Structure 1
Amino acid sequence: MMKRKWKIISAVVGALVVVGGGGFAYMLTRAPSPAKIADAGATGQRINANGIFANYYPAAGAAPHPAILLLGGSEGGLGKDMQAAALLLQAQGFSTLQLAYHNAPGKPAKLKNIPLEDFTRGLDWLKKQPGVDASRLGIVGYSKGAEAGLLVAARTPGIRAAVLGMPSSVVWDGMSGENYLLGSFSSSWSANGKPLPHLAYKGQPDARGLMPVFENGLKDLDKNPAAIIPVENFKGKLMLVCGEAEKLWPSCPMTDQIVARAAKAGGPPTVVLRYKDAGHGVMGAPFTDDAARANWSQMGGSKEGNAAARADSWPKIVAFLKTELGVAAPAQ
């Protein structure tokens, strides 16, 4: 997420200096490079129909199984990091849909005004799959996928558990050059064809990266309270995971905002996992190679801190999901 944003900013600045107004307009509006699309693998299925582009990992063994909607972040497509999580969830008995919602075939190239209907369509598809217990649905997501996940959980009945890493308490501007440099042009998300209320990016990056852009945006929250995600509308159980050494956006302060609003409004019950020496790589499948540790450490925390956070949090995430989704809902 961080690398992609810096590429956008660098490209726009370069266009201003070198090629003038026409090139600048092109750089603002051009599509990003295609995201990586992980193969579904031996235990998965590629789904590309009826507006859904995803990898599906059905649980083996005796049915019925709980189901998970799995959402990556601003990397787009179907990344390998979230695929590793999907495979681990599948092995633990969760039928898991790793859903692409932008920068993938049939999806918007940029992460702006993404329809929330894409996510509910994925949930509806999951409910209908053989061996899935439609009464045991959960959402797992990180970064922008956590932002979307909280929105969907707050708007969609029947979701019993949500695990959100590096989360956002608010809806942000869309991710595009025009939003970063010229003002608030679009939301990250839409519903019924209309952009959701959103906070604008404010200020400029500094030595810490993009952090001040988000911190300054949050200072205007009292002027735009409609951008707050109404966590109190979620009727399930919530787990939040954040790293205090985050360099990309203030996920731990936004975690605190979610928890405070939930407590003040009477729910949902929330479990928080915080890690001092972890950053934007705090949540996900435990690392299996040093390259991944190094890449994620660029967004905060040490290689060792991020690895330790994932190793500690992942079993707790699985245990939380098993507790909340392990028993069929009582008949109505």
Structure 2
Amino acid sequence: MNYVIMLDGNKLPQNHVPFSRTMLDQTIERLQVINGHLKRLPELHVTPEVGLIDEIIHIQVTGLKPYQNVTIEASVAENNARFVSWATYKADKKGEIYLSRDPALSGTYSGIEPMGLFWSMKSQTEGKRMIKKRADTARIVKIKAKPNSETSGTECPCLEKTIERWYKSINVQRIPVKEGKLRGTVFIPEGKGPFPAVIDMFGGLVDLVESRAALLASRGFASFALSYMFMDDLPKVATEVNLQYFLDAVDWFSQQPYVDADRMGMLGLCFGGGLSLWTAAHEPKIKAVVNINGMPFFHCQLQKNDVPTPYQGIVKTDAEILKDGVSMKGIFSVPDNNFIPAWQYGSKILVLIGEDDLMSSPHWHAKYLEACPAEFRSNIEMVRYPGAGHLIEPPYTPLNRLIPVSFGEIERFDAVNSTFLLCGGETKLHAKAQEQAWDKILNFLRTNL
């Protein structure tokens, strides 16, 4: 007699089974789907699918064959360019891959790097920088998993997820500013103010970049992304920048109802860093300054209204011609320690230094500290990042080593005779520096504002 094993382990004669063979097959099939170890389809898991740019993304692939090789790709379309990264992984004996646990065997990065797909992206157009100038839209990232197998269909599909990476939290307010001569964008955090406040500036080659200011607001700071060149009727060359503009920006921002005027700071990259130092040297309201690879003197003669300001350096012509471009770090110098005295009103100063900066020499930051009077020297903190280049940006931003010479006013430098200027940086070390620097910036501002 034929028997059928029931789900409770008992045996019944086949002619006593209380349901049909079709029903039994359907039940077993459902059990196979429920019990993942019996039958699992490959799946790509990415969390969170919507989050801030400085959040870690968790990526997993499950349902693979044991020890199967899989290539995972990420891509972004931004700034009129496409950025791509990839890495190959081997599944474990359960057919699972965890980017937080497993090493990448090859690709645009290697080793255990949970966020490697993000910081190792490379532009398919040379010299293009992944930069989001407006923060009111998300960065869209497409992630694909392509199992390396000769089979196809449901046994080995191409898996895909699309995620959103934001600089601005959903409840952060974004307010464009066109107030007198001031140009920029204000971001107001969620919650009840007034808030500690930061004026944020990038270098002298872009009109306005909102991304970092939006991220600061998402972390609790009222922020003002301040443009000082190229936008609307603002100067088109650095020598036309009026330093009174930055004092006016502090005065206006400090009067806003969402700003705590007793807790104001500035954050600047490159030329924006030097301008932040100058503002702190002339405005007691600035209690903290973060200078990212900004020279502590000016590379050209600037004026406050019609009065020339000191702190002017010298531009020489001994740019270094390297294999993939020109390094400008050697063309600037400053006579007689003519540094910007940002310390004189007691402002706390954090200087972040990329030791592979090829646009401005790290040498001058050490000289700056030496020039600071002894009574203020403890107010200055310098952090050096080996292998980091000039553009130290929020975490997981891909390294940009090159800037086209035709960009902005670079083409006016007589020392340049190449297609690209070099920002410097080694991909993996630069990525680690950006991650550490962002934590350092937030902690510094929270402590001193």
TM-score band by shorter chain is: 0.7 to 0.9
1:126 match: secondary structure = helix
Aligned counterparts, 1:220-239, within 5 A: 221-222=335-336, 227-239=338-350
**Of the candidates 200, 213, 216, which is equivalent to residue 331 of structure 2?**
213
Could you state the TM-score of these two structures normalised by the residue count of structure 2? 0.55
Check the 8 A contact 1:167/1:254 in 2, yes or no.
no
Please report how far the alpha carbon of residue 113 of structure 1 lies from its aligned counterpart in structure 2 after TM superposition: 3.6
Q: Secondary structure at the match of 2:343?
A: helix
Q: Match for residue 280 of structure 1?
A: 390
Task: Supply the distance in 1 between the matched residues of 2:211 and 2:134 (Cα, whole angstroms).
Answer: 11
1:161-200 counterparts in 2 under 5 A? Answer: 161-173=288-300, 187=301, 189-197=302-310, 198-200=312-314
Matches of 2:181 and 2:132 in 1, distance apart?
16
Match of 1:307 in 2: 431
Measure, in 2, the Cα distance between the counterparts of 1:69 and 1:238. 14
SS at match of 2:320: coil
2:252 is matched by which residue type in structure 1?
W
Question: Who is 1:266 aligned against?
Answer: 376
Q: Is the 8 A contact 1:37 1:77 kept in 2?
A: no
Q: Which amino acid aligns with 2:237?
A: K
Cα contact 1:68–1:97 (8 A) shared by 2: yes
Alignment counterpart, residue 39 of structure 1, candidates 130, 134, 137: 134
- When Rg is computed on C-alpha atoms for both structures, the one with the higher figure is 2
1:117: which partner in 2? 244
State the TM-score, normalized to the length of structure 1.
0.73
Q: Does 1:50 align with 2:183?
A: no
Say if 2:358 and 2:423, in contact at 8 Å, map to a contact too.
yes
Could you tell me how far 1:143 is from its partner in structure 2?
A: 0.5
Q: 1:105 to 1:37 in 2, by over 3 A?
A: farther
Task: Work out which of the residue numbers 80, 83, 96 in structure 1 matches 2:223.
Answer: 96
What code does the residue aligned with 1:319 have? N
User: Retained in 2: the 8 A contact 1:241–1:274?
Assistant: yes
Describe the SS at the equivalent of 2:207. Answer: coil
Q: Counting helix residues as a fraction of each chain, which structure ranks higher?
A: 1
Give distance in 1, aligned partners of 2:376 and 2:258: 34
Task: Kindly tell me the number of residue pairs found equivalent between the two proteins.
Answer: 262
Counterpart of 2:446 (choices 307, 322, 329) is 322
Tell whether the 8 Å contact from 1:40 to 1:46 is kept in structure 2 after alignment. no
Given candidates 313, 318, 327, the residue that maps to 1:204 is 318
Q: Could you tell me how far 1:76 is from its partner in structure 2?
A: 2.6
CA distance in 1, matches of 2:132, 2:211: 13
User: Which amino acid letter does the alignment assign opposite residue 301 of structure 1?
Assistant: G
Report how far residue 264 of structure 1 moved. Answer: 3.3
Ranges in structure 2 where 5+ consecutive residues have no aligned partner? 1-130, 138-172, 404-420
1:151 alignment partner, one of 275, 278, 294: 278
Verify the 8 A CA contact 2:401 2:423 in the aligned structure 1: no
Unaligned runs of 5+ in 1: 1-35, 174-186, 326-332
Paired with 1:268 and 1:114, the residues of 2 have a C-alpha distance of: 31
State the secondary structure of the residue aligned to 1:70: strand
Compute the displacement of 1:231 (Å). Answer: 3.2
Q: Which residue of 1 aligns with 2:195?
A: 65
What secondary structure is seen at the aligned counterpart in 1 of 2:177? strand
Comparing 55-64 with 139-148, greater Cα deviation is found at 55-64
Structure 2 residue aligned with 1:7: none
Q: What RMSD, in angstroms, separates the aligned Cα atoms of the two structures?
A: 2.2
* Paired residues of 1:53 and 1:106 also in contact (CA < 8 A): no
Measured in 1, the distance between the counterparts of 2:308 and 2:206 equals: 20
Letter in 2 for 1:269: N
Q: Give 1:90's aligned amino acid.
A: A
Using the TM superposition, give the Cα deviation of residue 240 of structure 1 relative to its aligned residue in structure 2, in angstroms.
0.4
* Contact 1:294 1:303 (C-alpha < 8 Å) held by counterparts: no
- Superposed counterparts of 1:120-131, under 5 Å: 120-131=247-258
Q: Which has the higher strand share?
A: 2
Deviation at 1:158, TM superposition (A): 1.7
Q: How many Å apart are 1:255 and its aligned residue?
A: 1.3
Name the SS for the 1:86 alignment partner.
Answer: helix
CA shift, 1:74, in A, is: 1.6
- Greater mean alpha carbon deviation, residues 236-245 or residues 257-266: 257-266
The structure-2 alpha-carbon separation of the partners of 1:45 and 1:286, relative to structure 1 and needing over 3 Å to count, comes to same
1:86 lines up with 2:210 in the alignment: no
Task: Return the alpha-carbon distance in structure 2 between the equivalents of residues 116 and 53 of structure 1.
Answer: 14
Report deviation, 1:51: 0.8
Q: Structure 1: how far apart are the matches of 2:439 and 2:400?
A: 19
Q: Percent identity?
A: 24
C-alpha distance after superposition, 1:287-310 (max 9, x if no partner): 34x4x5555894112121211111
